[in-house]
Structure 1
């Protein structure tokens, strides 16, 4: 199964909106630090990514990371 950046971005966007993040604030260059998600929301996002793509991202690694950087990392790790 090929994982596309578009599919990963859509998944992240849906998860963030369900966590209460305003959809218009979710852009490729938005940093997770600025999206106002709490640690539980971040943990749920990481669990969904692991379940959907088999990629484990340690939660502390979201600090300073943009949405686009996370998408690229997931696509890269899912391909390997």
Structure 2
């Protein structure tokens, strides 16, 4: 894992995971809220597991409520860079 993690790298990972879960690519913007992306709890759990595996940090699924894709990416980048 690199010493610093960019928000853009995290955004790319989130986009890839969401597209693999069936979310329409054009709906995945930094401003999009997870609540509006039509992902189920299994998809959310898989996303959190991927983030944990890739960046070695844990983000509780509950933190996806009322959070944008960009906010999650920034949060992960910040925690992973510590």
TM-score by length of 1: 0.98
TM superposition shift of 1:63: 0.4
What is the 5 A alignment of 1:20-59?
20-59=22-61
Deviations 1:18-51 (A, max 9, x none): 0000000000000000000000000000000000
Partner of 2:67: 65
Structure 1 unaligned regions, length at least 5:
none
Structure 2 unaligned regions, length at least 5:
none
TM-score by length of 2: 0.95
Structure 1 runs (4+) deviating above 4 angstroms are none
TM superposition shift of 1:14: 0.3
